[in-house]
Amino acid sequence: MSVAFPVTAPEGALPAALVERLGSAAARSAATGRPDETLLAELGEAGLFGVAVPAAYGGFGGDATLINHVVAQVARVNPSAAIMLFQHYAVSARVEEWGDAAQRARLLPALAKGDLLAASGWSEPGAGAAKKRLNTTAVRLPDGRWRLDGTKSFTTGAGVAGLYLILARTAEDPGAAGAAGAAGAAGAAGSTNDERDSGYGASGQTFFLVPADDEGLRPDQSLDLIGMRGSATGFVSLHGCVVGDEDRLGPLGEATRIIAGVRRTGATLGAVSLGIASALLDLAVEQVNRRPGPPDQVTRFRLVDLATRIEAAHAVIDRSGRRDAADPGLATLHSKLFATETAEQVGVEVARLLGSAGYTVANRVNGLMADARAVAHMGPTNDLCRELVSSTWLG
Ligand SMILES: Cc1cc2nc3c(=O)[nH]c(=O)nc-3n(C[C@H](O)[C@H](O)[C@H](O)COP(=O)(O)OP(=O)(O)OC[C@H]3O[C@@H](n4cnc5c(N)ncnc54)[C@H](O)[C@@H]3O)c2cc1C
Is residue 245 domain-shared with residue 145, that is, in the same domain?
yes
The residue from 227, 257, 287 where one domain ends is 257
Q: Domain total for the chain?
A: 3
Question: In this structure, are residues 179 and 227 in contact, taking their beta carbons and an 8 Å threshold?
Answer: no
Asked if residue 389 is part of any domain, the answer here is yes
Query: In the chain, where do the E strands start and end?
Result: 118-121, 137-140, 146-155, 163-170, 205-211, 217-220, 234-243, 248-249
Which atom of ligand 1 is the closest one to the Cα of 167? 11
**Which residues touch 101 (CB under 8 Å, ≥6 apart)?**
none
Ligand 1 centroid – CA 176 distance (Å) = 24
Measured CA to CA, the distance from residue 125 to residue 151 in angstroms comes to 8
Which atom of ligand 1 is the closest one to the Cα of 131? 21
The residue from 97, 117, 137 where one domain ends is 117
Is residue 307 domain-shared with residue 325, that is, in the same domain?
yes
Closest CA to 122 of 167, 85, 75: 167
Mean pLDDT in residue range 335-354: 98
Ligand 1 centroid – CA 156 distance (Å) = 13
Q: What share of the chain is helix, strand, coil (3-state, %, to 5)?
A: 55, 15, 35
The pLDDT of residue 4 is 41
Ligand 1 neighbourhood includes 378 CB (under 6 angstroms): yes
Which atom of ligand 1 is the closest one to the Cα of 386? 43
Q: Cis peptide leading into 380, omega within 30 of 0?
A: yes
Measured CA to CA, the distance from residue 391 to residue 319 in angstroms comes to 21
Asked if residue 85 is part of any domain, the answer here is yes
Is residue 219 domain-shared with residue 99, that is, in the same domain?
no
Ligand 1 neighbourhood includes 137 CB (under 6 angstroms): no
The pLDDT of residue 393 is 83
Ligand 1 neighbourhood includes 233 CB (under 6 angstroms): yes
Ligand 1 neighbourhood includes 340 CB (under 6 angstroms): no
Which atom of ligand 1 is the closest one to the Cα of 225? 1
Of 383, 385, 394, which is best to mutate to test ligand 1, by the most ligand atoms within 8 angstroms of its C-beta? 383
The pLDDT of residue 174 is 45
Mean pLDDT score across all residues of the chain: 91
Ligand 1 neighbourhood includes 178 CB (under 6 angstroms): no
Per-residue pLDDT band for 58 (boundaries 50, 70, 90) equals very high
Is residue 295 domain-shared with residue 238, that is, in the same domain?
no
Asked if residue 72 is part of any domain, the answer here is yes
Q: Is a pLDDT exceeding 50 seen at residue 3?
A: no
Asked if residue 89 is part of any domain, the answer here is yes
pLDDT tens digit string along 273-315? 999 999 999 999 999 999 999 999 999 999 999 999 999 999 9
Ligand 1 neighbourhood includes 123 CB (under 6 angstroms): yes
pLDDT tens digit string along 248-261? 999 999 999 999 99
Asked if residue 3 is part of any domain, the answer here is no
Burial class for 216, CB neighbours closer than 10 Å (0-12, 13-18, 19+): middle
Could you tell me the CATH number of the domain that includes residue 383? 1.20.140.10
Measured CA to CA, the distance from residue 263 to residue 245 in angstroms comes to 27
Q: Is a pLDDT exceeding 90 seen at residue 376?
A: yes
Question: In this structure, are residues 372 and 277 in contact, taking their beta carbons and an 8 Å threshold?
Answer: yes
Ligand 1 neighbourhood includes 332 CB (under 6 angstroms): no
Asked if residue 22 is part of any domain, the answer here is yes
Full residue range of the structural domain in which residue 84 is found = 16-117
Q: Is a pLDDT exceeding 70 seen at residue 22?
A: yes
Ligand 1 neighbourhood includes 191 CB (under 6 angstroms): no
Is residue 161 domain-shared with residue 253, that is, in the same domain?
yes
Which residues are 137's β-sheet partners? 149, 169
Is residue 229 domain-shared with residue 325, that is, in the same domain?
no
pLDDT tens digit string along 85-96? 999 999 999 999
Which atom of ligand 1 is the closest one to the Cα of 379? 17
